[in-house]
Amino acid sequence: MRNTQLHEALVETISQFKPHLTHAVTLTFKTQAYVKPRSFERYYPAKGRLTYLNEEIAISTLNYFYQLLTSLLFGRDSKRTSTKAFSVPLMISSLEGLHNGKHLHAHLAIGNLPPNVDIYSAVARAWEGCDFGDRDIVVKPLSDSRGWITYITKEAEVGNLDALSLQDIKQPQIYLSALA
């Protein structure tokens, strides 16, 4: 298969989430940050230790961002047994800039949000809480889901198939039963 065919297959696979996606988000990462482990605050200097961004840290930062965003949007409902199957956001993430020398950033497609929520402020607060979260945040309502999915998977067309990891798609448990 050529890269174009792989790209199209990836878009088709992710398109099953199209009806649930509502917002397009772009987040940029800092290239370095002072990281202070919260559990050992008294043993480390006030600033923490300087750490440089790599792929593993970027993925870890996105996972932590998802936890913070879930907590901000749904609160304790995301942990309650009776509501946790549907009280988490849907998040499809793609990392760009790992192999082409660009500034590392993430494109996200987000959905399954509670009604009447200010999504920009929730995303900004969650991204602020991440050590490697930079100030550049773009949040827009999603009008063309397929177009955004094609855009966030564009790195697959040039050979970077690791830009979007299918196992890192965060989704409510209730979607899994609907797809089965």
Q: Which residue has the higher pLDDT, 138 or 146?
A: 138
With 50 as the cut, is the pLDDT of residue 60 above it?
yes
Please compute, for residue 117, the number of CA atoms within 13 A of its CA located in the half-sphere on the CB side: 21
Strand partners, 106: 27, 95
Measured between alpha carbons, how far apart are the two ends of the chain, in Å?
27
Q: Is 164 left (phi over 0), alpha (psi -120 to 50) or beta?
A: beta
Average pLDDT over residues 69-86: 78
Q: What per-residue string of b and e applies to 15-30 under the rule 16 or more CB within 10 Å gives b?
A: eebeebbbbbbebbbb
The predicted structure's pLDDT at residue 4: 77
Domain residue spans of the chain: 3-179
Q: Given this model, what pLDDT does residue 1 score?
A: 47
Of 99 and 61, the structure prediction assigns the larger pLDDT to 61
Q: What is the distance between the alpha carbons of residues 26 and 109, in angstroms, rounded to a whole number?
A: 9
Averaged confidence pLDDT in the chain: 82
Which residue has better confidence, 120 or 48? Answer: 120
| pLDDT, tens digit, 9 for 90 and up, residues 93-139 | 888 887 777 788 999 999 989 988 999 999 999 999 998 999 899 99
pLDDT bucket at 174, cuts 50 / 70 / 90: low
Of 38-47, 85-94, 113-122, give the range with the top mean pLDDT.
113-122
